[in-house]
Amino acid sequence: MRSKTKQTYNVCFCFRRRFRVAAWEVPADIRRVFKRYSDESGVMSGALLQRFLVEEQKEVNATLDDALSIIDRLRLPLFHPRALNLLSFFNFLFSHLLNPPSLSVLQDMSSPLSHYFIYTGHNSYLTGNQLSSDCSDIPIINALKNGVRVIELDIWPNSSNDDVHVLHGRTLTSPVALIKCLRSIKEYAFFASNYPVVITLEDHLTPDLQAKVAEMITGTFGDILFAPSSESLKEFPSPESLKGRIIISTKPPKEYLEAKEVQEKKEESLTEKPAVDEEAWGKEVPSLRGGTISDYKNIEDEDDLHNEEEIGISRDEYKHLIAIHARKPKGGLEECLKVDPDNVRRLSLSELQLEKAAETYGKEIVRFTQRNILRVYPKGTRITSTNYNPLIGWMHGAQMVAFNMQGYGRSLWLMQGMFKANGGCGYVKKPDFLLKDGPNNEAFDPNAHLRPKITLKVTIYMGEGWFHDFKHTHFDKFSPPDFYARVGIAGVPYDTVMKKTECVEDNWSPSWNQDFEFPLAVPELALLRIEVHEYDMSEKDDFGGQTCLPVWELRSGIRAVPLYSRKGDKYENVKLLMRFEFI
């Protein structure tokens, strides 16, 4: 606990302001909780701590031995034997003893791959923007270390047509050798999770080079490569059965795009203005409630970068490596969404295509994703590697919502929040209503006006840790920071909302002590969004930390919630003390 000190700020050359940096003050509600579970002498014994864990924290399996072990690790020698006083109890609320990181896979992993949301990257090899940044294996390594399970590689011939490069085609991006990317994938594939890694290939190769790619892949991955026994699958295997395996997903071999299509695509990319989505900490996530979807006219499709004519007889070695076939039947979207009972496949749609399709075919998309895999990718005008609202994909059952992982911003924070679930293994089981039709044989309609199932009550007591993790002039040169918090829900349209606390002035340990209630119609898809900002009257508010938490994994009771930087790195000390209740 921090002792009281004083801090001095220079206002001008001859004038200084001094501020007292106060010690932690125990919020009144925490005092009431402690009083409820302490004895007449004002201490909390092991039996009373056990009661607190069971009744307040809903940890029904907590034993007396668990409570005594906690006390032994927290109590000070001068205190009552094997008991906590108010301050040691308050320390306990912030400690990892009450808030251990969840590393356990909690969900059933024996269902087909199509039953899971999968942590998916887009153009995984790019170090920055989509037009001129370097291509490298470093972003791939970072993505795998962070738990990403789907890596996308665009493969092209090198200048002499005798080797294969990875690069964003028809741009100024510098290439990286395919074999280097494959070797890095093998080395880091299972760094963060033992569950399978899918490599999606955007293939722009001749048959000879496809055969060379087949040699590279089999030579690099050997026995860990999953090669299906037949060209088509009636059902995808499960993540559990594919632990430690590498999976290849692409279209059957295609020819190059015709010159006319190349020129049109290039002109479209260069004439569109970049989407300026990332400002101080990222533009607010676009709402899914209505909008201007019908205004979108130019819809690009990465899968259509190939001519639809097959290349005579393709190289068998290459075709046999493809475990998840990416196919788009000829015809309109209605034809693409037809479900084949004897064959499963992957379909790719741009974010704009999905938004437009959802207006008319929302239920059909949900039904398609019950057996097949839908991949959604960013529109081509996201030149600065920004992202979109991932909920548009998830609430329609899309398994592979592909994101640019190079930058930061609120959309990416939602993606990181979703995949904190299930032990961070990169696979999150889809809710049952997305896996089967309802009682009247009706698929889930995410845009329907649904009644709330449950209400999440969130109390935000206070924040702590900025004093230790930031320089004292980081937020304001002339005074301590003025913090406020934003708390809300990202989910289906009728659950989505953001609220805000009052601003606490000149305090490194702000106490808000405010309650917020969120009625939830679809808690199974809801993410709790938390952000802290420092109010600045003359400039943009400063960023003070963020996190997104899957509502379905929130643990009831009083919890210390760690905050993360804009890039998703966990701060060493910054935490919020909060309470979660389901009513």
Question: Alpha-carbon distance 1 to 21, whole Å?
Answer: 12
Task: Decide if 544 contacts 532 (C-beta within 8 A).
Answer: yes
Binned at pLDDT 50, 70 and 90, residue 24 comes out as: low
Question: Alpha-carbon distance 44 to 53, whole Å?
Answer: 12
Question: Which strand (E) or helix (H) includes residue 376?
Answer: strand 373-377
What pLDDT is stored for residue 290 in this prediction? 53
Q: Which two tokens stand for residue 544?
A: 């003070």
- The dihedral through the CA atoms of 76, 82, 84, 85 has a sign that is negative
What pLDDT is stored for residue 357 in this prediction? 92
3-state SS, residue 126: strand
Residue 170: CB atoms within 10 A of its CB come to 17
What pLDDT is stored for residue 552 in this prediction? 96
Binned at pLDDT 50, 70 and 90, residue 108 comes out as: very high
The CA-CA-CA angle for residues 120, 416, 427, to 5°, reads 50
3-state SS, residue 561: strand
Residue appearing with tokens 């024996």 = 110
Rounded to an integer, the average pLDDT of 39-53 is 94
Question: Alpha-carbon distance 379 to 301, whole Å?
Answer: 8
Rounded to an integer, the average pLDDT of 513-541 is 94
3-state SS, residue 302: helix
Binned at pLDDT 50, 70 and 90, residue 128 comes out as: very high
Q: Phi/psi of residue 7, each to 5°?
A: -130, 135
Question: Alpha-carbon distance 464 to 371, whole Å?
Answer: 46
Q: What is the mean pLDDT of the chain?
A: 86
What pLDDT is stored for residue 267 in this prediction? 39
Would you say residue 294 has pLDDT above 90? no
Least confident of 28-32, 447-451, 466-470, 482-486: 447-451
Task: Decide if 562 contacts 416 (C-beta within 8 A).
Answer: no
Contacting residues for 312 by C-beta, under 8 A, at least 6 apart: none
Report in angstroms the alpha-carbon separations of 203 from 138, 166, 322, 377.
21, 10, 12, 16
What pLDDT is stored for residue 38 in this prediction? 95
Task: Decide if 503 contacts 535 (C-beta within 8 A).
Answer: yes
Rounded to an integer, the average pLDDT of 430-456 is 87
Task: Decide if 155 contacts 165 (C-beta within 8 A).
Answer: yes
What pLDDT is stored for residue 73 in this prediction? 86
Would you say residue 306 has pLDDT above 70? no
What pLDDT is stored for residue 270 in this prediction? 41
> What residues are annotated to the active site?
122, 168
One-letter amino acid for residue 107 of the chain? Q
What pLDDT is stored for residue 576 in this prediction? 97
Rounded to an integer, the average pLDDT of 293-321 is 51
Binned at pLDDT 50, 70 and 90, residue 81 comes out as: confident
Instruction: Name residue 558's beta-bridge partners.
Output: 579
pLDDT in tens, 454-510: 999 999 999 999 999 999 888 888 788 999 999 999 999 989 999 999 999 999 999
What pLDDT is stored for residue 286 in this prediction? 78
What pLDDT is stored for residue 446 in this prediction? 77
Rounded to an integer, the average pLDDT of 421-434 is 97
Question: Alpha-carbon distance 139 to 125, whole Å?
Answer: 6
What pLDDT is stored for residue 100 in this prediction? 81
What pLDDT is stored for residue 182 in this prediction? 98
pLDDT in tens, 244-264: 999 999 986 653 333 333 433
Least confident of 133-137, 169-173, 274-278, 392-396: 274-278
Question: Which strand (E) or helix (H) includes residue 375?
Answer: strand 373-377
What pLDDT is stored for residue 18 in this prediction? 55
Contacting residues for 522 by C-beta, under 8 A, at least 6 apart: 395, 431, 446, 450, 453, 491, 492, 495
Beta pairing, strands 246-250 & 322-325: parallel
Question: Alpha-carbon distance 381 to 269, whole Å?
Answer: 6
Question: Alpha-carbon distance 10 to 217, whole Å?
Answer: 62
Beta pairing, strands 83-84 & 116-121: unpaired
Binned at pLDDT 50, 70 and 90, residue 5 comes out as: low
pLDDT in tens, 341-362: 999 999 999 999 999 999 999 9
